[in-house]
Amino acid sequence: MKKILITIFLISYQLVLSQRNDILDRKNVFTLEVFGHSDSFLAVNYERLFLSGNEKLIYSFRTGVGRKPGYDFHGEYFKGVTTVPFVFSVLYGKKHFAQLGLGYSALFSQNFVYSSSEVYKEFESDFSISIGYRFMTKDGIVAQAYPVFILKDNPVTKSMLSFGVSLGYSF
């Protein structure tokens, strides 16, 4: 009888521990982002979370691929822009987080002049900074919103202010 009780206790203990679902245990995040650091219409990102000694402080690094679609401009077709963002962030909070992000994005396109106010180069480098809000649940839901200031390597547009929104899942 003692062995049966010990076995039931060990199995129950293991089941309880395996059901633990803490935000800090979820270190991988996939997100869909609209605008944001990538300076594209839609981006798919992977992010890795790194814990610090302080339980309210989390560091993260994310990368992904973004796309700004092409269009036809008076019979001349523009192929669009593909972006590869790299963002380092610092998060502070437990479920609701304040976040600061510093980013670099490589933009790949073609040499194309849309108008006197919009010029695309074959390769551009963007640097960005954002301060915003992130919400993460124990179930893995991740949502964030933030304004982002982008310094551009473009002959016409030197800087811009954008707003990023993303929704994702952590595991």
- Spell out the domain ranges in the chain: 2-170
Over residues 128-135, the mean pLDDT reads 97
The amino acid sitting at 80 is: G
Over residues 127-152, the mean pLDDT reads 96
Nearest residue to 156 (alpha-carbon basis) of 127, 115, 97: 115
**Is 119 or 143 the better-scoring residue by pLDDT?**
143
Using an 8 Å Cβ cutoff, are 122 and 141 in contact? no
How far apart are the C-alpha atoms of 22 and 106, rounded to whole Å?
34
pTM value > 0.75: yes
Fold entry, domain 2-170: Porin (2.40.160)
pLDDT value, residue 17: 43
pLDDT tens digits, 91-110:
999 999 999 999 999 999 88
How far apart are the C-alpha atoms of 39 and 170, rounded to whole Å?
23
